[in-house]
Homo-oligomer: A and B are copies of this chain.
Amino acid sequence: MPFVTVELLEGRTMEQKRALAEKVTEAVEQTTGAPKERIHVFVKDIKKDEYAPSGIFVCDK
């Protein structure tokens, strides 16, 4: 604790995700005072055929 879950539309590179996890961890550390070793980040890909904004899947747009 704290736990952070980031859901992203698939397509980001591992390099972007590394930077994301690092920067988000820093943001949480600085604003909550939690030590880095207690911050857990999850980065999850959401596939284009499982996300439907306005009821239409991204893969169909």
CA distance A7 to B54 in the complex (A): 15
CA distance A33 to B18 in the complex (A): 14
Within the complex, the shortest CB–CB distance from A10 to chain B, in Å, comes to 10
Residues of B within 8 A of A39 (CB): 53-55
21 contacts between A and B (CB under 8 A): A2-B6, A3-B6, A4-B5, A4-B24, A6-B28, A8-B32, A14-B49, A18-B56, A19-B31, A20-B28, A23-B27, A24-B27, A25-B52, A26-B27, A27-B27, A36-B54, A36-B55, A40-B53, A41-B51, A43-B57, A44-B50
Chain A interface residues toward B at CB < 8 A:
1-9, 12, 14, 16-28, 30-33, 36-37, 39-46, 49-57, 60
